[in-house]
Amino acid sequence: MALGTMTWGRDTDEPEARSQYKAFIEAGGNFLDTADTYSKGVSEELVGQIIAEIGNRDSIFIATKAVKVELPRMYNASAIHITDALDASLNRLGVDHVDLWQMHGWDSITPIDETLRAVSNLYSQGKFRYFGISNYAAWQTALVISECKNLNIPFISTQHEYSLLARGVERELIPLLENQGKALLAWSPLGRGVLTAKYRFGTPVDSRAASKHFSSFIQEHLTEDKARIVDALVTAAEGIGRTPVETAIAWLRDRPGVGSVILGARNLAQLQILLSSDNLVLPQELNNALSDVSAPHSSYPESGWAQLPKDRGN
């Protein structure tokens, strides 16, 4: 599992961030995920400060991201921008390299050749160990994997939203990653907080759905169809004496193609609940039931007559 730091420096203040980091390390964690845009760079600064103070850089796997910029463009993967962005990230983190550097989104303006040649140059300078992407479509991911092979860039992962409420990656992306031996890093494993079951009977005043900043982001998962999935999750959790949070994380952790689940929490209490899922192995019948009730809709060409089951031959 990875510790996500998107809220650090905004919803999670410095003392709380330190408490989360300490609890994560004590639980055996070593993978931290951040980005240059999280809290406008403050997240990276906090990560760097805490690691420097504790002095355990050599045992920590740091992942960060670049490319996101202010509207109206949203993403800028030009050679100039990503080169400056990585240098700025390294400066805020106080390190000479990151372990995983990721492109935060697809830039439809910059030629992919320009982006990846800049990435290759930065890799040759030793500024990152491994390369990844985030929120790319399957065809875009396939293109990046192919080009990275040609340029000898060590591409290892892609980061996407994935949970019982968001299983779109299973249609084409997961099969691609498994075929190519790459991993998926799952963000928002609790369906933007909806799988905590706290929205079943209304919107708590202190929840993200009640905030101006996050309301529209949460509303996407507050539908009748997804409410039925939450109800099934609650029933399953009650049946094994665990929380919906633990059950949802355990289900996701063991899905094909998943390399890591990114745990994001505003406070230590939330993080401790997330971490408690590490020792939970779901009974196969319960796992199957949750998979069935939340199964994503698939159609031609990713499923159906054009994709013959393995046992039917050619």
Domain residues of the chain, as ranges?
A: 2-295
Q: Which of 21, 38, 75, 199 is flagged as catalytic?
A: 38
Please state, rounded to an integer, the average pLDDT across all residues of the chain.
93
Q: For residue 230, what pLDDT is reported?
A: 97
Residue with the bigger pLDDT between 214 and 149: it is 149
pLDDT surpassing 90 at residue 280: yes
Name the burial class of residue 171, with classes exposed (0-12), middle (13-18) and buried (19+) by CB atoms within 10 angstroms of its CB: middle
Question: Is 90 exceeded by the pLDDT of residue 56?
Answer: yes
- CA-to-CA dists, residue 83 to 66, 125, 209, angstroms: 9, 11, 36
pLDDT at 213 over 70: no
Task: Find the mean pLDDT for residues 36-64.
Answer: 96
Q: How far is CA 226 from the centre of its chain?
A: 20
Cα-Cα-Cα-Cα torsion 213, 217, 222, 227, nearest 10 degrees, comes to -120
Q: How far apart are CA 176 and CA 174, in angstroms?
A: 5
Q: What is the DSSP letter of 137?
A: -
Written out in words, the top-level CATH class of the domain with range 2-295 is: alpha beta
Please compute the mean of the pLDDT values over residues 206-213 and round it to a whole number: 64
Which is more confident, 285 or 297? 285
pLDDT at 300 over 90: no
The percentage of the chain sitting over the pLDDT mark of 90, rounded to a whole number, equals: 84
Q: Give the tens place of pLDDT for each residue, 215-260.
A: 777 888 888 999 999 999 999 999 999 999 999 999 999 999 999 9
Taking phi first (over 0 means left), then psi (-120 to 50 degrees means alpha), and beta for anything else, what does residue 72 get? alpha
End-to-end CA distance of the chain: 39
Distance separating alpha carbons of residues 257 and 13, to the nearest angstrom: 33
* Whether the Cβ atoms of residue 264 and residue 163 lie closer than 8 Å to each other: no
38 is catalytic: yes
pLDDT digits (tens, 9 = 90+) for 73-107: 999 999 999 999 999 999 999 999 999 999 999 99
Task: Give the pLDDT confidence score for residue 44 in this predicted structure.
Answer: 98
pLDDT at 210: 57
